[in-house]
Amino acid sequence: MVSSVLGVILALIAGGFVLKAAGVTNPIATYQEIFKQGFGTFADWRAGFTALFTGTDCPKGLLCFGPLSDTLVKASPILLTSLACILAFRMKQWNIGADGQMFMGAWAATAIAVFILPKTTPAVLMLGMMGTAGILAGLIYGAIPGFLKAWFNINEIITTLMLNYVAYKWLEFFVVVGPWSIGDFESTGRFPPSATWPRLTQFADKIPVLSGLTANPGILLGIVAAIVLAWILYRSRWGYEIRVIGNNPKAARYAGINLKRNILLVMALSGALAGLAGMNEVAALRELNGRFQRGYGFTGVIIAWLSRLNPIAAIFVSFLFGGLLVGTQLIQPQGISSMLQGVILFVVVGTEMLFRYRVYIEKIVEDVPVREIGDVS
Amino acid sequence: MTELSNAFEMCGIVKRFPGVLANDHVDFSCQVGEVHALLGENGAGKSTLMNILAGLYRPEAGDIFIGGKRVVIRSPQEAIALGIGMVHQHFMLVPSHTVAENMVLGLDQPRFFLNLSKIEDQVAELGKQYGLNIDPQAKIWELSVGEQQRVEVLKMLFRGAKILIMDEPTAVLTPQEVESLFKTLRDMTGRGHTIVFISHKLEEVVTIADRVTVLRRGKVSAANVSAKGTTKAQLAKLMVGREVLFQIDKKPAQPAEIVLDVDGLCADNDRGLPAVREVSLEVRAGEILGIAGVAGNGQRELAECLTGLRTIKSGEIKIGDAVIDGKTHWRELRWQVAHIPEDRSEVGSVPALSIAENLILKAFSRPPISTGLSINKAAVRKNAIQLVKEYQIATPTVETPVRMLSGGNLQKVILARETSKRPELMIAVHPTRGLDIGATEGVHKLLISQRDAGAAILLISEDLDELLSLSDRIAIIYEGKIVGETSTEGADIQKIGLQMAGVKAEA
Amino acid sequence: MTSGNLFDLGVTILFGALVSGTPLLFATLGEIFAERSGVMNLGIEGMMLMGAMGGFATWFRTGDLLLGILVGMLLGGLMALLHAFITITLRADQVVSGLALTILGTGLSSILGQPYVGQRVPAPTTLTLPILEHVAAEQIIIVLIGLVFSPLAWYYLNRTRPGLNLRSVGEHPSAADSLGINVIRTRYLYVVFGGLMSGLAGASMSLITDPGWVDGKASGLGWIAVGLVIFASWDPLRGLWVSYFFGLLRRLPLDLQNPALPLVSTANNPSVGRIMDMLPYLATIFILILGSREAFRKRLGAPAALGTPYIRGQRGL
């Protein structure tokens, strides 16, 4: 993890230079403001900890720790997309299409919420169906490039990317110009109340510490998914197969592991996770409109890398990134968050390679002579 | 200057690699216009020596003289400038380019614009001169191996090479192509070229060479011996020697029922040429059958057939009662068959995973390692700890990723994984390659103990000493066929050497 | 846009396709060279965005169009240099590095390009030609550059020594190395060249073919270029046709709105427009599928060493 932390620090420094170039006079103040917006002030945190330790009830509940609500809300979708990427990347399948899969999931969930199930459906059933639809849509949308890769060895990077754009347009078609838009608004209109996430604060009478939290249970979906994924990767047979394939496909074949089927499965499941993220977003936004946020899929890539492809670590990194996204919402200039994200990824990739490079060098010194001597084939 | 002047002289050449002294004060020289064979087994140092002459390696000590003048050769370009060209075993030709394009690659002239038709004419002309007829417009991948070799030779001639080094040139040729090659070589010496012919094949050496120098374990064991004046038996002895390095204590074998029964096996190599030709052999429980032969004679392909990594063209393999055919589910069979692969880190292990996880590569889908969907971590760990202790694998923890292990320890991991369940059959391919003496000893001990426990072991190795000391019986493979078989007790080493070199057993 | 007879319409559409396809052509040609040397550069999209933004910003500040183009190229080249360092010298994974560069380029161009969104655009120098009234001279120029460059690139690749060296490095670096060709230097050179071309592609978009800067200007063209390289079988001449074809696809929604075509009512339907927007992306997938099977039959495959870092002495390539 050292290189990740190092990478982030370097990235912040580099980002500071970029901010300077964009006309910001004091990048550090900007960073401070971002932190405050995303995570709250020190005063808030102190009050929160004090309340915890003295056993009193902080009047703002968990909000004593700052604008947690917003951060949690932002963290949910990116946690899910990062999990999608983690699963795929573990097997060296580069699913860059989490964005598109998320869009399709959102679309499917909306279809259920607004057009298929009646308004009066109870929330549990409604949300459950939406989730299922989102998962299925993402699953299919991820299985397509998976199939092409597994059976025809077609580069999944390009196919998933292209499908991203197709998904964007697909949504636009339905919501902006087509059948789903209401009047001139590029939107489906409000969902029926049962199709939206309740606020966590609504459960405050059962769990008092939740009072004030306007976040939704979506984050719990993500956490549960992360735990399940961690279990799969580290404790299940399938996870073992995935890790072997991702590390040495030849050895995997030797061990009798079926490569094609696993590629398809992994890409499909990865898509499913991203599709769930889409449902999550739409249930939180309570409508589907033309401003549906793009880019969460790419943020997922970055989080996956920073977490070193570890699902549990992804929970925390997503939280941090959630704070980043919230914090940069109101800061000028716009686009800081994606710039920072890009710089972070780039620096992390670079520094990680530096670490691995050393091991690589040593390996070469060890290996080459052996081949040179006995080199009579 | 004597009347037969030396084309080149190499004096006192020393070349070291980590752990190995490849050339130990070697003297080697050739006269102008002769074909001089450099004979020896794998690892004898022949390729290394010639790679030095061709500018690919720098020697630690020693001098090189070309035409009487001392030179230092720092790169293949400098070697070419001195008139030395080497045709390697793995051709340095770009498959998707034409002959002409390959011919002209890397040259100074023409500088920028390539007038391909002019170059093609030049190539055709040169080819006619030397009787090496090649279509200059043909793409390399379209040519047969023999033709590709001709292109390589022509490439050297195009660059003005006077001294030509051929590294095991007949390894990839059909008998007709060998004939053709020899004719070309004689033709070239007639024009004043000098040929160094690296080989392990006695028949050919005796046919084509004027003089022979034999290397063994990095040293010259016979220099400038007249090819016509020496018997093959003598050459074989010089090549293979008599000392046995390790004297392994082992009980006499008590072979029981047949475990591996191979009958008329045929298989092709990666190029589609026959590599295994009607091989039949048997290995019984409780014995070690060694396969002797210089690398490249089909052993690898044979091992791959026996472990499910290569398709069988015809013939039959029986392991125990199971008959192997195209549909065999190797996952089940792997339980009974242990495979120590040639290439540890390629097929044998998963580098980034831990030792514990590598140890279960074959066992992960069955209890006790896994029940239902999940893997029992405690069982994995317990298994690993026990194996690490039993096989004395040097590692800080069982969670250490295997890419951090030394070659010897990695081999132990593979051995532990493959043999811990007391397999019926073991196929070990070059198991001690690249290992130091201590690790080698450990592997030997393990093989013997498995054999004593009743396993049937097929041992493929380039090291004849190792084979002689470990095996109960030895079969010799040459050009894909089993050309001889004998028990190691009181074996005639000379005869084995001859057979390895392709000489038909004289009745 | 002219109304009138169908022939005029045809010429207009054709020219539109050429203009629209030219930035794609530049990016594709650049990537062909980079991949021919054995290095895959997935950062094209990011480089195009930086080239577009940087070029536009430069013009906006200085009023000098040519300078803008040059700056755009330079930005692309610099990013490519980073990519080259990471993948060739550090031997890191080419895929991830390229991806990181694209994300970086996207974010960087977004943030630095803020002040230039929706600003006034360079006024084209209008010419009046037969049929094509009010056409921009700059557009004609870059189309011509593209038309000329492509066959020149082909000639360079197939009939000159440097081209032969380049191809050898990508097919069989060991052989090239053994004959004295500097594999590392060759790869660096052509990767940076690819970056320069991507920067050029971006700058020509924001300054000439589609003037103006908005976030995400390149809208995935960089990715399409990667696919086009495959479909063009790494051949510059084929890249020419393929790029123009895609240029046509991109313009289709616009062109179908031309009153001269009897499809006005359907074409004006924005839904149809959205579906047609999808076409280039779907087409890329389609051609990838085609390409994968064609390759079997024609043995026109990728440069054999594409994607693998070169290590002297390693078995294989």
Least trusted range by pLDDT, from A34-43, B132-141, B363-372: A34-43
| Residues A68 and A201: beta-carbon distance below 8 Å | no
Q: Please, which pLDDT band fits residue B378 given cuts at 50, 70 and 90?
A: confident
| Contact across the interface for C271 and A350, Cβ inside 8 Å | no
Whether B348 and B460 map to the same domain: the answer is no
Residue B438 forms part of a structural domain: no
pLDDT at A63: 58
pLDDT in tens, B216-225: 888 888 888 8
Q: Can you point out the beta strands (E) in B19-130?
A: 20-31, 35-39, 61-66, 69-71, 84-87
Domain range for B380 is 344-422
Question: Which residues of C fall within a CB distance of 8 Å from A165?
Answer: 219-220, 278, 281
CB contact under 8 A, A254 and B309: yes
Residue B160 has pLDDT above 50, yes or no: yes
Question: Is there a contact between B92 and C171 if contact means CB atoms under 8 Å apart?
Answer: no
Distance of CA B54 to the CA centre of its chain: 21
Which pair of structure tokens corresponds to residue B495? 């005869």
Q: Does residue B244 have a pLDDT over 60?
A: no
Residue A316: CB partners within 8 Å, gap ≥ 6? A307
Spatial separation of the C-alpha atoms in residues B109 and C204, rounded to whole Å: 38
Shortest Cα–Cα distance, A101 to chain B (Å): 27
Q: Please name the helix (run of DSSP H) or strand (run of DSSP E) that holds residue A9, with its range, or none.
A: helix A2-21
Give the minimum alpha-carbon distance from B349 to chain C in angstroms, rounded to a whole number.
19
Helices (H), chain C: 6-36, 44-62, 65-84, 94-112, 137-159, 161-171, 173-178, 183-204, 221-231, 236-255, 264-268, 270-298
- Give the closest of A94, A178, A302 to C95, CB-based: A94
Looking at B189, B216, B240, the residue that finishes a domain is B240
Task: Quote the pLDDT of residue C264.
Answer: 56
Domain count, chain C: 1
Nearest to B111 among C161, C171, C179 (CB): C161
Query: Looking at the complex, does the CB of residue A364 fall below 8 Å from at least one CB of chain B?
Result: no
Same domain, B42 and B146: yes
Q: Could you tell me the pLDDT band of residue A187, with boundaries at 50, 70 and 90?
A: confident
CB atoms near residue C297 (< 10 Å): 7
* Closest residue in chain A to residue C289, using alpha carbons only: A154
C160 close to B (CB below 8 A) = yes
pLDDT tens readout for residues B460-473: 987 777 888 889 89
Chains in touch with C (3+ beta-carbon pairs under 8 Å) read: A, B
Beta-carbon contacts of B339 under 8 Å, excluding residues fewer than 6 positions away, are: B303, B307, B418, B426, B427, B429
CA-nearest residue to A333 within chain C is: C111
Asked if A356 is an interface residue toward chain B (Cβ–Cβ < 8 A), one would say no
Q: Is residue C314 part of a domain?
A: no
Residues of chain C found within 8 Å of residue B141, distances taken between Cβ atoms:
299
Give the nearest partner residue to B330 out of A250, A256, A372, using CB atoms: A256
Chain B closest CA to A238's CA: distance in Å?
7
B: neighbours with 3+ CB pairs under 8 Å?
A, C
Q: Of A162-166, B274-278, B347-351, C147-151, where does the model show the most confidence?
A: C147-151
Alpha carbon of residue C37 to chain centroid? 17
Instruction: Say if the Cβ atoms of A235 and B17 lie within 8 Å.
Output: no
Within 8 A of C180 by CB-CB distance, chain B residues are 75-77, 106
From chain C, pick out residues whose CB is under 8 angstroms from the CB of A371: 313, 315
Buried b (16+ CB within 10 A) or exposed e, B158-196: bbebbbbbbbbbbbbbeeebbebbbebbeebbeeebbbb
Q: How many Cα atoms within 13 Å fall on the side-chain side of residue A98?
A: 34
Residue from the list C167, C179, C299 with its beta carbon closest to the beta carbon of B97: C167
Domain of residue C236 covers: 13-118+129-298
Instruction: Answer whether residue C170 is part of any domain.
Output: yes
| SS3 sequence of C247-294 | HHHHHHHHHCCCCCCCCHHHHHCHHHHHHHHHHHHHHHHHHHHHHHHH
pLDDT given at position A188: 74
Q: What one-letter code names the amino acid at A117?
A: L
Whether residue A28 is predicted with pLDDT greater than 80 in this model: the reply is: no
Q: Is residue C316 part of a domain?
A: no
Residue A372 above 70 pLDDT?
A: no
Instruction: Please count the structural domains in chain B.
Output: 3
Q: What share of chain B is helix, strand, coil (3-state, %, to 5)?
A: 35, 25, 40
Let me know: does B91 contact B156? Beta carbons within 8 Å.
Answer: no
In terms of Cα–Cα distance, which of B26, B155, B5 is closest to B80? B155
Q: Please, what's the b/e burial string for B304-341 (b: 16 or more CB within 10 A of its CB; e: otherwise)? A: bbbbbbbebeebebebbeeebeeeeebeebbebbbbbb
Contacts of C108 in chain A (CB under 8 A): 18, 339, 342-343
Any idea which residue has 């064609």 for tokens? C294
CB within 8 Å of chain B, chain A residues 222-241? 231, 235-241
Whether C3 maps to a domain, the answer reads: no
Specify whether the CB–CB gap between B333 and B320 falls below 8 A: no
Cross-chain CB nearest to A178 (options C90, C100, C271): C271
Radius of gyration (C-alpha) of chain C in whole angstroms: 20
Residues of A in contact with C292 (CB under 8 A): 152-154
Q: Percent of chain A at pLDDT above 70?
A: 75
Using DSSP bridges, classify how beta strands B337-340 and C135-136 pair: parallel, antiparallel or unpaired.
Answer: unpaired
Q: What is the largest CA-CA distance in chain C?
A: 67
Q: How far is B96 from chain C (nearest CA, A)?
A: 8
For residues B74 and B184, membership in a common domain is answered with yes
- Structural contact between residues B426 and B338, judged by C-beta atoms closer than 8 angstroms: yes
Whether C175 sits inside 8 A of B141 (CB atoms) is: no
Interchain contact, C165 vs B105, CB within 8 Å: yes
CA gap C77, C71 in Å, rounded: 10
Q: Cα separations (Å) of A23 from A15, B194, B444, C114, C115?
A: 13, 73, 71, 11, 10
**Is residue C141 a part of any domain in this protein?**
yes
In this complex, the residue of B331, B350, B403 whose CB is nearest that of residue A256 is B331
Nearest to A335 among C107, C273, C292 (CB): C107
Q: How far is A74 from chain C (nearest CA, A)?
A: 19
Pairing of strands B84-87, B314-319: unpaired
| CB B329 within 8 Å of CB B407 | no
Tokens of A183: 């009047």
pLDDT in tens, A108-146: 998 888 888 777 778 788 888 999 999 999 999 999 999
**Which residue ranges form the domains of chain A, and what is each CATH number?**
67-332 (1.10.3470)
State the Cα–Cα distance between residues A276 and A232, nearest whole angstrom. 18
Interface test with A, best of B350, B362, B433 (most A CBs within 10 A): B350
Using a 10 angstrom Cβ sphere, with 0-12 exposed, 13-18 middle and 19 or more buried, the burial of residue A225 is buried
C114–B contact, CB cutoff 8 A: no
In angstroms, the CA A57 to CA A77 distance is 30
Show residues of chain B in contact with C179, CB under 8 Å.
76-77, 92, 105-106
Q: How far apart are the first and last CA of chain A?
A: 42
Q: Cβ contact (<8 Å) for C103 and A335?
A: no
- Residues A60-73: b if buried by 16+ CB within 10 A, e if exposed: bbbbbbbbbbbbbb
8 A C-beta contact, residue B208 and residue B197:
yes
* Whether the predicted pLDDT of A373 surpasses 50: no
Q: What is the CATH number of the domain that holds B293?
A: 3.40.50.300
- C-alpha distances (whole Å) from C241 to each of A290, B160, C144, C285 are 35, 44, 14, 17
Q: Could you give the CA distance from residue B69 to residue B58 in angstroms, rounded to a whole number?
A: 18
Q: Do C108 and A157 touch (CB under 8 A)?
A: no
Residues 6+ apart with CB under 8 A from A179: none
Phi, psi of B361 (to 5 degrees): -55, -35
Residues of B in contact with A363 (CB under 8 A): 403
Q: Tokens 């893997």 correspond to what residue?
A: B375
pLDDT for B1 beyond 50: no
Residue C247 sits in a domain whose CATH number is 1.10.3470
Q: Which of B75, B96, B112 sits opposite C171 (nearest CB)?
A: B96
Q: How far apart are CA A259 and CA C86, in angstroms?
A: 30
The Cα–Cα gap between A87 and B247 comes to 53
Name the token pair of C85.
Answer: 């360092």
Q: What element of type H or E holds B223?
A: strand B219-226
Give the pLDDT mean for B130-156.
87
Distance CA B337, CA A267 (A): 34
In a domain, B303, yes or no: yes
C162 within a domain of the structure (yes/no): yes
Strand partners of residue B426: B338, B457
| Residue C235 touches chain B, beta carbons under 8 Å | no
Chains that touch A (3 or more CB pairs under 8 A): B, C
Return the structure tokens found at B497: 């050497």
* Cβ contact A165–C281 (<8 Å): yes
Same domain, B12 and B106: yes
Distance CA B332, CA C179 (A): 49
Q: What is the DSSP code (8-state) at residue A342?
A: H
Residues B215 and B80 in one domain: yes
Q: Is residue C178 part of a domain?
A: yes
Residue C162 pLDDT: 93
> Looking at the complex, does the CB of residue A254 fall below 8 Å from at least one CB of chain B?
yes
Beta bridge partner(s), residue B276? B267
Set of chain B residues whose Cβ sits within 8 Å of the Cβ of A231: 374
pLDDT band with cut points at 50, 70 and 90 for residue B2: very low
Both tokens of B449, joined, read 């103990």
Handedness of CA B355, B358, B359, B365 (dihedral sign): positive
CA geometry: angle at B79 spanning B73 and B83, to 5°? 135
CA distance C266 to C277: 15
The pLDDT tens digits of the residues spanning B414-451 come to 888 888 778 888 999 888 876 766 777 788 888 888 88
Q: Which segment, B141-150, B379-388, C128-137, C145-154, is predicted with the most confidence on average? A: C145-154
Specify if C5 maps to a domain. Answer: no
DSSP 8-state assignment for residue A121:
S
C209 touches chain B (CB under 8 A): no
A341 touches chain C (CB under 8 A): yes
Strand order through the sheet with B274-284: B274-284, B258-268, B314-319, B322-324
**Average pLDDT score, chain A:** 79
Question: Does C164 touch chain B if contact means CB atoms closer than 8 Å?
Answer: yes
How many beta-carbon contacts under 8 Å exist across A and C? 156
Q: Do B110 and C172 touch (CB under 8 A)?
A: no
Q: pLDDT, tens digit, for every residue of B161-216?
A: 999 999 988 877 777 788 889 999 999 999 989 999 998 777 788 889 999 999 88
H or E element in which residue B266 lies: strand B258-268
The DSSP-derived string for B333-371 is HTTTEEEE-S-IIIII--TTSBHHHHHTTTTTTSTTTEE
- Per the document, the length of chain C is 317
Average pLDDT per block of 10 residues along chain C, 317 residues long = 64 87 95 94 92 92 90 95 88 78 82 79 75 77 94 94 93 86 93 96 91 81 86 89 90 69 60 76 82 57 74 54
Please tell me which of the candidates C179, C299, C304 has its beta carbon nearest to residue B105: C179
